[in-house]
Amino acid sequence: MIAVDVDAVLRAQGAEPAKVRSRSPRIVALAERALREGLPLIAPAVIARRFAVTERTHNALRFGDGGKLSGPLIAAECAPAEEIVVMAVTIGAALEHAAALAMANEPAFALALDGLGTAAVEALADAEAGALGAGAGTPLSPGMEGWPLASGQREIFALLGDGPHPIRLMDSGMMEPRKSISLVIGLGPAMKTGASHCDFCSSRDRCRHRRAS
């Protein structure tokens, strides 16, 4: 079971839990309802492959089968990696469909369900990354500063192979189901640990909800 609580749902909606609890008990009640009704709809799925790094350049890492990951962020943060784990995770489409249906008559509840979906897929990605143990670097995702979204997504899904997979890459560079995250994690004794993925976000200096590293 994915570990998500009411505070995580509120934060995923862009709210500060302490303020919401003191000022808006109705929103807290909607988050609690979203957990009750939405958690049974979550269907976690993970696609992952591991590659040995065979070549490092100023802008890319290359693997023995001809695959690669490129971009300044990858080259800088994963340069010490001996291996790379390429991964995509999703909670499935049922929860987002429920949120879409609720939007017509209960928009506030729909937003709570959407917040649950965001919190749940982030928790799933964190759990999978954490399970790699010591020597695992900070998870990096396309769209972070120094790693363009479109090219990064194409490279990740090329490495993951044709499937069949529960996650599909669309021409826009987004994934379907929408509540999905793609990421790469460098492995090796020289990898830096303890950083937050927020450290690589282009909005890090102005985000009220940045995670502490």
Reported as a pLDDT band with limits 50, 70 and 90, residue 157 is very high
Is the Cβ–Cβ distance between 190 and 80 less than 8 Å?
yes
Contacts of 110 (CB under 8 A, 6+ apart): 99, 100, 102, 103
- Which three-class secondary structure state does DSSP give residue 69? strand
Cα separation of 183 and 175, whole Å? 12
Cα(48)–Cα(183) distance, integer angstroms: 10
Percent of the chain with pLDDT over 70: 90
Does the reported pTM lie above 0.85?
yes
Residue 39, CB half-sphere, CA atoms under 13 Å: how many?
A: 13
The pLDDT score that the predictor gives to residue 21 is 93
Average pLDDT of the segment spanning 34-56: 96
Q: What single-letter amino acid sits at 65?
A: D
Token pair 């995509």: residue: 88
**pLDDT tier at 4, thresholds 50, 70, 90:** very high
Q: Is the pLDDT of residue 139 over 90?
A: yes
The dotted CATH code for 6-193 is 3.40.109.40
Question: What integer best gives the mean pLDDT of the chain?
Answer: 91
- Residue 25 pLDDT greater than 60, yes or no: yes
Q: What is the DSSP letter of 212?
A: P
If one counts every other C-beta atom within 10 angstroms of the C-beta of residue 181, the result is 21
